[in-house]
Structure 1
Amino acid sequence: MEINGVDIKDTYAEGFGIKVTRMLVTAATKKLAKIAVTEATGYGTSVIGCPAEAGIDGYVPPEETPDGRPGYTIMICQGGKKALDHELMERIGMGILTAPTTAVFNCLESEDVLKTGNKLKFFGDGFEEVIDIDGRKIHSIPIMSGDFLVESAFGYKEGVAGGNFFVLANSKMSALVATEAAIDAIHNVEGVITPFPGGMVASGSKVGCNNYEFLNASTNEKMCVTLKDKVDSDIPDDVYGVMEVVIDGVDEDSVREAMKQGIKAACNVDGVLQISAGNFGGNLGAYKINLQDLF
């Protein structure tokens, strides 16, 4: 199968289940909101080594937010409820409460909730109040710059992590340009994040390690350009640039749509030769998203 002359390999991306929460962070200006969400989603590329996978979902204009101010939706993902609860406390408490003029609202309706705001209210030392904004229970916590507003509870659900695809091109620059185009397209899909730096994974990995028993993940040597002549490589001879995109979403449909839009965008860039995907033979997760089935 080809798209614009780019070979879409007959393979699949292997995703796995993860608990997901989604929230809206607003502030007095778009710039201040972006600063807060950037801080709150830092160190969140992969649960291989990070305490959570986290990222910015998208921008929300003032006319669409509960308090009429600009904001961004973000997602935080973790394998267990207790760990996710801890991450919300840490990231909201240290990354958003500390930022000027911010407010945080729940963006995921679910019967399963984490009472993060109800815990954070105690920072107010007895001066906190409960107010109503757009029918939501909000804790108003006095801070030096005014009041920090946080919804009492945040919904969470079982989402999908690890949706992915590889961009293989005739040069490193072509791979970079194509992957940036893919990320821009993915940002138009609601309910997904690309948690790696700039949405791009430079250091694709495999489960386990060939030479060091103490590592649970290591470099994917079969996809390393500089190792083409040294290992049983999966890279075609005419490929000299490889980048990966990893996607987490609120459900499988969201991840599939993000992969589809990202791949289509990448295939419009000169120099892209092939689109592939990473899987582990079914050993990592229950979700198998075949690339060709997306189209």
Structure 2
Amino acid sequence: MEINGVEIEDTFAEAFGIQVSRVLVTAATKKLAKIAATEATGYGTSVIGCPAEAGIDGYVPPQDTPDGRPGYTIMICNPTQKKLDHELLERIGMGILTAPTTAVFDALDDADEKLKIGFKLKFFGDGFEKEVEVGGRMVNSIPIMSGDFLIDSEFGIKKGVAGGNFFILGDSPASALIAAETAVDAIMSVEGTITPFPGGMVASGSKVGSNKYKFLNASTNEKMCVTLKDEVEDTEIPADVNGIYEIVIDGVNEEAVKEAMKEGIKAACTVTGIKKISAGNYGGSLGAYQIKLQELF
């Protein structure tokens, strides 16, 4: 199968279940809202080493937010409910409450459960906290130096999907990078998904475990390292490929991840020099979801 002359390999991306939250951060300006959203989602690339996977879902204009101010939806994900509760409390408390003019609202419509994040954070008000109505909902109002910080009492979580992915193989490092950036831009239009790695792009790649060092949970995917293609006997890199990037996607459900993968792959295939689209899997041993690339189209 080909798209714009780019081969779509007959393989699948192996994804796994994860607990997902979706939070709306608003502020007086779009710039301030994005700063807070960025702070709250930092150090959130992969649960291989990070305490959560996190990223910005998308921009929300003032007419669509409870307080009539610009905002961004963010997603914070963790394999367990207990750890996600902890991450939400710390990331909102330290990354958003501390940021100028911000407010925080639950943005997950079909939650499986609710966590009392705002109820816990309200005690920062030291007895001066109160409830107020904003946009038809009752929220906690916490007095802080710059004014009042507003936050919903409860935030929904649900079982989502993490690790949806595809590899972009280009004839040069530049073509692969441009295609990866183009793919991430396209994925931003798919609501309920994030690309948690820096700039949405994975430079490192990895495999489960290690061939040599047994103390590692993950190590370099030597079969997909362009500088090793002449050294590794079972390399998976074609001779005309000299640049590779991976895009990893987390979503509120499998359908959202599939849509993001589809849009990202289509966008990547518009870039000159892209030779092939592949995906990462471990034969089904890592996760319960097998998203077949060719079936996306």
TM-score bracket for this pair, using the shorter chain length: over 0.9
- Given the alignment of the two structures, is residue 236 of structure 1 paired with residue 228 of structure 2, yes or no? no
1:3 maps to a residue whose letter is I
Q: Distance in 2 between matches of 1:153 and 1:239?
A: 49
Aligned to 2:200: 199
Q: Distance in 2 between matches of 1:136 and 1:155?
A: 15
TM-score by length of 1: 0.99
Map of 1:7-156 to 2, 5 A cutoff? 7-109=7-109, 110-156=111-157
Q: Could you list the runs of 5+ residues in structure 1 that have no partner in the other structure?
A: none
Would you say the 8 A contact 2:20–2:160 is kept in 1?
Answer: yes
TM-score by length of 2: 0.99
Percent identity between the two aligned chains: 74
Aligned to 2:210: 209
Deviation readout 1:235-254 (Å, 9 max, x if unpaired): 00000000000000000000
Runs of 4+ residues over 6 Å off in structure 1:
none
**SS in structure 1 at match of 2:270:** coil
Deviation readout 1:213-266 (Å, 9 max, x if unpaired): 100100000000000011110000000000000000000000000000000000
Q: Could you list the runs of 5+ residues in structure 2 that have no partner in the other structure?
A: none
TM-aligned CA deviation for residue 111 of structure 1: 4.4
Aligned to 1:226: 227
Deviation readout 1:60-93 (Å, 9 max, x if unpaired): 0001100000000000000001000000011000
Q: Distance in 2 between matches of 1:130 and 1:14?
A: 44
Root-mean-square deviation (Å): 0.6
Q: Distance in 2 between matches of 1:204 and 1:255?
A: 19
TM-aligned CA deviation for residue 284 of structure 1: 0.6
Aligned to 2:285: 283
1:236 maps to a residue whose letter is P
Counterpart pick for 2:252 among 250, 254, 257? 250
Count of residue pairs brought into register by the alignment: 295
Aligned to 2:165: 164
**SS in structure 1 at match of 2:162:** strand
**SS in structure 1 at match of 2:88:** helix
Deviation readout 1:264-287 (Å, 9 max, x if unpaired): 000000000000000011111000
Aligned to 1:293: 295
**SS in structure 1 at match of 2:42:** coil
**SS in structure 2 at match of 1:83:** helix
Aligned to 1:174: 175
2:291 maps to a residue whose letter is I
Q: Distance in 2 between matches of 1:191 and 1:20?
A: 10
Would you say the 8 A contact 2:112–2:159 is kept in 1?
Answer: no
2:262 maps to a residue whose letter is K
TM-aligned CA deviation for residue 137 of structure 1: 2.5
Q: Distance in 2 between matches of 1:174 and 1:111?
A: 42
**SS in structure 1 at match of 2:122:** helix
Q: Distance in 1 between matches of 2:132 and 2:93?
A: 19
Deviation readout 1:22-57 (Å, 9 max, x if unpaired): 010000000000000000000000000000000000
Counterpart pick for 2:273 among 271, 274, 286? 271
Q: Distance in 1 between matches of 2:204 and 2:154?
A: 36
1:222 maps to a residue whose letter is K
1:199 maps to a residue whose letter is G
Q: Distance in 1 between matches of 2:17 and 2:149?
A: 33
**SS in structure 2 at match of 1:121:** helix
**SS in structure 2 at match of 1:63:** helix
